[in-house]
Amino acid sequence: MKKVLFFIAFSFAVSAPSFAQIIKSNVPEGADPAALPIQFLPADALVLPNGDVQMGVAIKATAKNIGTLPYLPGGTPLKVKLYLKSGNGWTEVDSKSVNVLAPGVETSMNYYTTYIKGKQKPPTFKLVVESKNAGVVNPDVNMNNNKKEAQVQ
């Protein structure tokens, strides 16, 4: 019986989805703050009295130093900003400041919003890492991975 329970638990653990984001820098040495793909977390849905369905949207937005050296932003902290698309523009909904981002270290933000399914467009998010590629001790050596955008499916 113990073997069967172990096998079931092992099978579940192996098949469980992993939310770990693996992203590697394409530079051999240096600091590389990067925006990781935006994660959509399980959220609620509510049927309103008029029959509309209000969908909850919960996200986790993460920036990580995927480089080999700590990112030292200099006089002003590293800014990580989360935007929500509104109309033709973007509205900042959250931000975080980081003084030093060591190699492999992440900084995350969680955000929650709702929309009416079928009547409103599902929200689109953008994560931006505002680092510097010059003028700091360990500059951001790869600016191409500093933005990620994602829309609710």
pLDDT digits (tens, 9 = 90+) for 96-112: 999 999 999 999 999 99
Among 1.10.10.10, 3.30.930.10, 2.60.40.10, 3.20.20.20, name the CATH number for the domain at 2-151.
Answer: 2.60.40.10
Measured between alpha carbons, how far is 91 from 99 in angstroms, rounded to an integer? 24
As a whole number of Å, the CA-based R_g of the chain is 19
Q: What is the DSSP letter of 147?
A: E
Contact by Cβ (8 Å): 51, 34: no
Percent of the chain with pLDDT over 90: 74
Q: What is the pTM of this model?
A: 0.81
Measured between alpha carbons, how far is 118 from 52 in angstroms, rounded to an integer? 8
Q: What are the structural domain ranges in the chain?
A: 2-151
Q: Rounded to 5 degrees, what are φ and ψ at 99?
A: -80, -40
Q: Rounded to 5 degrees, what are φ and ψ at 56?
A: -85, 145
b/e code 110-124 from CB counts within 10 Å (16+ = b): ebeebbeeeeeeebe
- Say what the pLDDT of residue 80 is: 98
Instruction: Provide the pLDDT confidence category of residue 7 given band limits of 50, 70 and 90.
Output: very low
